[in-house]
Amino acid sequence: MRRVLALAGMASFWATSVLAAGSPGALLNLSYRIDVRAAQAPAQPAREASRDVASIALPARLEDLLPKPEPVLAIAAPVVLARTYTDVWERIRDGAAIDDIDSPLVRRWQAWYLARPQILKGITERSRPYLFHVVEELAARGMPLELALLPMVESGYDANALSSANAAGLWQFIPETGRRYGLMQNSDYDARRDVVAATGAALDYLKFLYDLFGDWPLALAAYNWGENAVGAAIERNRAKGLGGNYAALTLPEETRNYVPKLLALKQLLLNTPEVRAEREPVPNRPYFAVLEKPRNLDLQSAAKLADMPLQGFLLLNAAHSPTAASGSGSGKGVSGAQASVLVPVEKAELFKANVERHNNTAALSAKAGKAPAAKAAAPVVADSRKSTQGTKTAYKGAPIVHQVARGETLVSIARRYGITEALIKDWNPLVEAGLDIGQKLFLHTN
């Protein structure tokens, strides 16, 4: 009874103290203090105690006296929308992931390119038809997007480029490495110059090198010098107690400048305001479509089916011999009826319609017992007012390449070869942006 009476006297102490306890350990301590005070409390009259006890309802558990937490409102995570790009250059800038190297060689190459704006302009102009495709392939593999600038170092973004070591195409594959990555090479078709096939092979090779070395500067050095050579250089350094990173290696002159060139172009084209202001945007959409090429049709006839100047068509289809009609095909090992050509997206539907018309004509000829037509049937053109097919002078001589010299203009070049400025522009679409010293022009003469 004394215990009950003591509890009644402790009611107010309990109610105020428990709120301050705040944790199970503090509650246990509080419980101990209550027991001590209850044992020491003087007895009270039974009638008063019974009234106080009746008014008190003690909890079954001490935890029930803890303050109830406020309900937590669920806050939705902010929705981050993927950026929609209109310019491939900005997409490359945001997707760049290779660390910069603090090297005087990088600064030297930046100064070199800035002092030669015509070279910088030339390689960026040549990259326009191919840049979106390369960036798409890089993004699909999760690779740094500034690797799309590597063909500027390798070939100046010229699909027809051929080095003294017989390396060919945008990505400069030597024959042996090209074959190792499935790039067919014969007299009619060289897949090293095929933008689609060679880009896929080059990125596969770069990914292999990165997985091998775990470092992009080393992977790039190996792309230029060879993985065995880089691996041996690393082992030599380790044997001497030296570092095995890119900066520590003794490299050939070309390889030593290779990565700095790429990083210099990256800084200029992506992060230098003056260069970015001069750089033309590249639409973030496909420039070309991959379409089936009719068998036994040479590129000149295919260009007519696409209603395109021959030179523009050859720029996209450098892998095919201009005079070959065997249909060796685009891609790795593709041949025969599955041969393909690249056609600007805006010409794709017209090309497909003209190819169907050509095939129907050939089928009718074969049914009538005649030999299949070796040339394309007269194509339908998109707009007869814009097309010059059928109105050009027939230039029967072999095509020549003219390299622009200082002081030359379209007028002087046209006069020299007895042709018109309009024809030069027709055969060389890039001259619309102006002539550069050293620029190569594809010409025909009588």
CATH number of the domain encompassing residue 124 = 1.10.530
Give me the number of domains the chain comprises. 4
Please indicate, yes or no, whether residues 237 and 304 belong to a single structural domain of this protein: no
pLDDT at 391: 36
Please indicate, yes or no, whether residues 207 and 130 belong to a single structural domain of this protein: yes
pLDDT > 70? residue 127: yes
pLDDT > 90? residue 155: yes
Cα–Cα distance for residue pair 306/293, rounded to 1 Å: 11
Lowest-confidence segment of 171-175, 235-239, 284-288, 320-324 by average pLDDT? 320-324
Lowest-confidence segment of 61-70, 213-222, 301-310 by average pLDDT? 61-70
Cα–Cα distance for residue pair 435/122, rounded to 1 Å: 9
On whether residue 378 sits in a domain, the answer given is no
Please indicate, yes or no, whether residues 29 and 105 belong to a single structural domain of this protein: no
- The one catalytic residue in 154, 254, 356, 432 is 154
> Helix 24-40 and helix 2-9: axis angle, to 10°?
120
Residue range of the domain that includes 142: 88-278
Per the DSSP assignment, residues forming a β-bridge with 416 are none
Cα distances (Å, whole numbers) of residue 25 to 22, 29, 68, 82: 9, 6, 17, 50
Please indicate, yes or no, whether residues 273 and 324 belong to a single structural domain of this protein: no
Q: What are the pLDDT digits (tens) for 229-241?
A: 999 999 999 999 9
pLDDT at 334: 43
Token representation of residue 77: 């995570």
Q: What are the pLDDT digits (tens) for 345-357?
A: 999 999 999 988 8
Cα–Cα distance for residue pair 54/85, rounded to 1 Å: 76
On whether residue 125 sits in a domain, the answer given is yes
Decide which of 98 and 381 is more confident: 98
385: phi then psi, degrees, rounded to nearest 5? -75, -25
On whether residue 377 sits in a domain, the answer given is no
440: phi then psi, degrees, rounded to nearest 5? -100, 130
Per the DSSP assignment, residues forming a β-bridge with 443 are 400
On whether residue 255 sits in a domain, the answer given is yes
> What's the chain's average pLDDT?
79
Please indicate, yes or no, whether residues 24 and 119 belong to a single structural domain of this protein: no
Q: What are the pLDDT digits (tens) for 242-299?
A: 999 999 999 999 999 999 999 999 999 999 999 999 999 999 999 999 998 877 788 8
**pTM for this model (two decimals):** 0.66
Decide which of 388 and 242 is more confident: 242
On whether residue 304 sits in a domain, the answer given is yes
Please indicate, yes or no, whether residues 272 and 294 belong to a single structural domain of this protein: no
CATH number at residue 433: 3.10.350.10
Lowest-confidence segment of 26-35, 190-199, 255-264 by average pLDDT? 26-35
Work out the pLDDT band at 429, boundaries 50, 70, 90: low
Please indicate, yes or no, whether residues 128 and 9 belong to a single structural domain of this protein: no
On whether residue 382 sits in a domain, the answer given is no
Please indicate, yes or no, whether residues 220 and 314 belong to a single structural domain of this protein: no
Strand segments, DSSP code E, in 347-423 are 400-403
- Are residues 217 and 248 in contact, defined by beta-carbon separation less than 8 angstroms? no
Last residue of a domain, one of 351, 367, 383: 367
Please indicate, yes or no, whether residues 174 and 303 belong to a single structural domain of this protein: no
Please indicate, yes or no, whether residues 53 and 177 belong to a single structural domain of this protein: no
Closest CA to 19 of 64, 60, 54: 64
Closest CA to 169 of 160, 178, 181, 182: 160
Q: Where do runs of H (alpha helix) occur along 214-345?
A: 216-225, 227-239, 253-266, 273-278, 299-305, 310-316
pLDDT > 50? residue 300: yes
Token representation of residue 125: 């102009």
On whether residue 376 sits in a domain, the answer given is no
Last residue of a domain, one of 247, 278, 309: 278
The answer to whether 154 is a known catalytic residue is yes
On whether residue 123 sits in a domain, the answer given is yes
pLDDT at 417: 85
Q: For 429-435, which contacts have Cβ atoms below 8 Å and span 24 or more sequence positions? A: 429/309, 429/311, 429/312, 429/315, 430/125, 430/126, 433/121, 433/125, 435/404, 435/408, 435/409, 435/410
Please indicate, yes or no, whether residues 316 and 213 belong to a single structural domain of this protein: no
Percent of the chain with pLDDT over 70: 68
Please indicate, yes or no, whether residues 232 and 193 belong to a single structural domain of this protein: yes
> Helix 104-114 and helix 117-141: axis angle, to 10°?
120
Cα distances (Å, whole numbers) of residue 36 to 31, 33, 49, 148: 9, 5, 19, 80
